[in-house]
Amino acid sequence: MQDKWALEEHLSTPENNKLWDDSGEAARNGKRYMDYVDSHLLDVDERIKIMDATGVERTILSLTSPGIQSITDTELAVKVARDTNDLVKRNFVDQRPGRLSMFACLPTQDGAAAAAELRRAVGELGAVGALINGYTNVTDADTARYLDDDAYEPMWAAVADLGVPVYLHPREPLPVQQAIYAGYESLVGSAWGFAHETATHAVRLMLSGLFDRHPGVQVILGHLAEGLPFLLPRLEHRLDKQQDGAGLGTARRKVSEYFSDNFYATTSGHFHTRTLFNTIAELGVDRVMFSADYPYETMEEAAGWFDSSLLSANDARKIGRENARRLFAGIA
């Protein structure tokens, strides 16, 4: 299939590399693999060649996890987010107009600053939304602020006002929450921990009342929605039984309704046809979009799987490009 769009495609910057110690990730995931990833996070020309070879018309770029969300100094986070968005626009998007677009990174250490940077990135740089790498460290590596916190109301108001989506990208569970992975450290990240962390984060958003206050806000989840198409029915059933229990949030509707109205899923890094069909059955074909997760995954594997996944021609067009074109209708 030609003219696919891919939405979870990562990059880094020299400044980000200085701030981010990836030695632990290299140990867990394998040095050879992480050396390959690191060597491709800064490229432009090779990225375009791979897109050409795999039928990808456009990719939307984002700063790799944990990105801005791991910075505990608020002033530094604001500066790095602004500098990064400027650099991505200048060194990536402007180098290949029509092929590369960008999600803004946001200084979520401060909700008002995140809102201001989103408005600037969309209005001045042409960002098509924001990608946020999960929770935000506030004081140290063992603290987390999730996006349902009241501090983010200015940011969500800006998202609603601008009409752009937020991609909720995974990051590893807090170090103090990783005891269950002891002895099995390779499970901490993308192999397992990412999905558990991000699915729970998404459920917090559903229960928080966010989508009652801002019913038009759209959140994108990668990896075929981090298991939620299979887990939400059980969650909803149990919450109905526990409706007089504690900690149920302020949501006015069922979680399945928010999932259907306020969430999209991408195929990033989850190349399994039966799981794709199950996600379509639960979420609807109009809310699933192609993605690769480059360079953590290869475009060749993602596109090769998708192009032979036995989807109908109509469904392949929707997932491969039309759903994204509709969601990002502001792209020229």
Give the active site residues. 293
Task: For tokens 């916190």, name the residue.
Answer: 149
- Residue ranges with strand state E in 204-272: 219-221, 263-266
CA torsion, ordered 326, 301, 199, 136, to nearest 10 deg = -90
CA-CA distances (angstroms) from residue 222 to 95, 131, 289?
26, 11, 9
Nearest to 60 by CA among 202, 165, 147, 170: 165
User: Which value, in Å, is the radius of gyration of the alpha carbons in the chain?
Assistant: 19
Tokens (6 digits) for 112:
């008002």
Tokens (6 digits) for 196:
């558990």
Given a contact cutoff of 8 angstroms between Cβ atoms, the answer to whether 139 and 173 are in contact is no
Tokens (6 digits) for 134:
């999960």
Task: For tokens 């969601």, name the residue.
Answer: 327
Sign of the dihedral defined by the CA atoms of residues 296, 11, 76, 116, in that order: negative
Tokens (6 digits) for 284:
């609807």
